[in-house]
Structure 1
Amino acid sequence: MSLFSLLSWSQPARAVGVSPALSRAGRLVGLTALVLGLGACSVMPDHPVRPTQYDFGPGAMTAPAPRPALGQAVLVIADLEPSGGLDSSSMVLYRLAYTGDQQLRPYAQARWTLPPAQLVRLRLRDHLSLQRAVMSPTEGAALQRSQGQSLRVLRLELEEFSQVFDQPQQSSALVRLRATLLDSRPAGETLLAQRVFVTRQAALSPDAPGGVIALTQATDQLAQDLAQWIDAAPSKP
């Protein structure tokens, strides 16, 4: 029933000979129906809002010519292990540092397309493979069995991946990664180098889209730092 019909129905019905008591009762019923109708409209749920999904973008649109890898050991990137609150969740996380709060908080309507550890590993692999041969652990093991050559194994642990608010309108992306580089031979593995990388990138806006862009840029910077570190690491234990 429309709002106009409800209002019309609540008017006095004197033309048809209805008594004043019944007329008042009719008006009361009409007004009650009107209130209930408007209330029902206000509490009717809207369509469910699906969280916006983000990734790191398409990456480089053109592939530069790879640097010659003569005499360069194949690099094997192990699965990236998340730590702390960075489990298998795909939530976009932030911290309110200005309150002294140590809690990781999720954005209600923002999600990564994959868990952050998987996204970071894929991004690092794309960057590192521009300068050297990069393989998965399965591919590296098969190569070592067939040819018996030494490999470089990169083990990674993602310790922090969040948007940190230093002030309500000021935030930055924080990425902290522990990297361990090993020399792998059929006889076993030997430690070559280990380092913790910390990268911060200012966010352009104090919200989820700003945090996602900043985290992408921080990851790309970390990939460059990681590549330089691997190049400078000793080739043999």
Structure 2
Amino acid sequence: MKRSSRLLSLLVLSLSVLLAGCGSASRKSVDQYDFGPLPDAGVAGATMPSSLPAIVIPDVTGPAWLDTQTMVYRLNYADPLQARPYTASRWSATPLQLITQRLKSRIAQSGARVLSTTDASAGELLLRIEVDDFSHTFDSNQQNVGSVVLRASLFDGRKFLDQKTFVRKTPSTSADAAGGVRALAASTDAVAADIMAWISSLPLRRP
């Protein structure tokens, strides 16, 4: 009886190890992405006049599906209303966090003084950003872009100055998550340059 019990225990243990190994082998790794390093200042695009007041940039806002690390693509030719997740790829932070940090970094890189809401004093310029779309979009099997659509509102203290919607769609080099990431990063950088050009064109007060 003791020998039978030992054999049964060894058999159960061996089966458990085998099942655990199979589970580990079948579990797919998940690739994590962000926007990568900033481009060199010389090729970053628009610059901001150093005479502008400091700009306060609160965290970017947007729909709930952009407040997760899920990476989304859309098949516009099949069903444009369905947001589909990439199961083996995800963002290293939420898209809203990534966009916030990228915009702050690009605007600061251009020569502007960028402040957070906790560091700001009354009467500073305030730039609010609302994101409407941030997805890898397929118009056909062959054509896909990184689509960024956002709305920027500029205030001088509590005084509303102007508002503008920015749209950028950068063609992807490949029809997969990695290609979508590169296209979305490029679109975000292009929108940052568009925002800087827009702010620079406004008749703002000088400190």
For residues 99 and 93 of structure 1, the distance between their equivalents in structure 2, rounded to whole angstroms, comes to 15
Corresponding residue to 2:58 among 78, 87, 96:
78
Q: Deviations over 1:17-56 (max 9, x none)?
A: xxxxxxxxxxxxxxxxxxxx9xx89x93315223100000
Shift of 1:122: 0.8
SS at match of 1:85: helix
For residues 133 and 62 of structure 1, the distance between their equivalents in structure 2, rounded to whole angstroms, comes to 15
SS at match of 1:205: coil
Amino acid at match of 1:94: Y
Shift of 1:211: 0.2
Shift of 1:101: 3.4
SS at match of 1:169: coil
User: Residue 134 of structure 1 aligns with which residue?
Assistant: 114
Q: CA, structure 1 residues 84+159, in 2 after alignment: closer, same or farther (shift >3 Å)?
A: farther
Q: Which runs of 5+ in 1 are unaligned?
A: 1-36, 145-149
For residues 124 and 173 of structure 1, the distance between their equivalents in structure 2, rounded to whole angstroms, comes to 17
Q: Deviations over 1:213-234 (max 9, x none)?
A: 0000000100100000011123
User: Residue 24 of structure 1 aligns with which residue?
Assistant: none
For residues 142 and 88 of structure 2, the distance between their equivalents in structure 1, rounded to whole angstroms, comes to 19
Does structure 2 conserve the Cα–Cα contact (< 8 Å) formed by 1:169 and 1:205?
no
- Say yes or no: does 1:59 pair with 2:38: yes
Aligned-residue sequence identity (percent) comes to: 34
SS at match of 1:92: strand
TM-score by length of 1: 0.71
Q: Which runs of 5+ in 2 are unaligned?
A: 1-14
Amino acid at match of 1:108: T
Does structure 1 conserve the Cα–Cα contact (< 8 Å) formed by 2:34 and 2:91?
yes
SS at match of 1:176: strand
User: Residue 175 of structure 1 aligns with which residue?
Assistant: 148
User: Residue 22 of structure 2 aligns with which residue?
Assistant: 44
For residues 22 and 154 of structure 2, the distance between their equivalents in structure 1, rounded to whole angstroms, comes to 57
For residues 80 and 154 of structure 2, the distance between their equivalents in structure 1, rounded to whole angstroms, comes to 34
For residues 168 and 41 of structure 2, the distance between their equivalents in structure 1, rounded to whole angstroms, comes to 26
For residues 112 and 44 of structure 1, the distance between their equivalents in structure 2, rounded to whole angstroms, comes to 28
User: Residue 94 of structure 1 aligns with which residue?
Assistant: 73
Does structure 2 conserve the Cα–Cα contact (< 8 Å) formed by 1:85 and 1:104?
no
Shift of 1:59: 1.1
Amino acid at match of 1:50: S
User: Residue 9 of structure 2 aligns with which residue?
Assistant: none
For residues 26 and 165 of structure 2, the distance between their equivalents in structure 1, rounded to whole angstroms, comes to 45
Does structure 2 conserve the Cα–Cα contact (< 8 Å) formed by 1:84 and 1:159?
no
Q: How does 1:1-237 map to 2 (within 5 A)?
A: 44-45=22-23, 46=25, 48-60=27-39, 69-70=50-51, 72-83=52-63, 85-86=65-66, 88-129=67-108, 130-141=110-121, 144=122, 150-184=123-157, 189-235=158-204
How many residue pairs match? The answer is 183
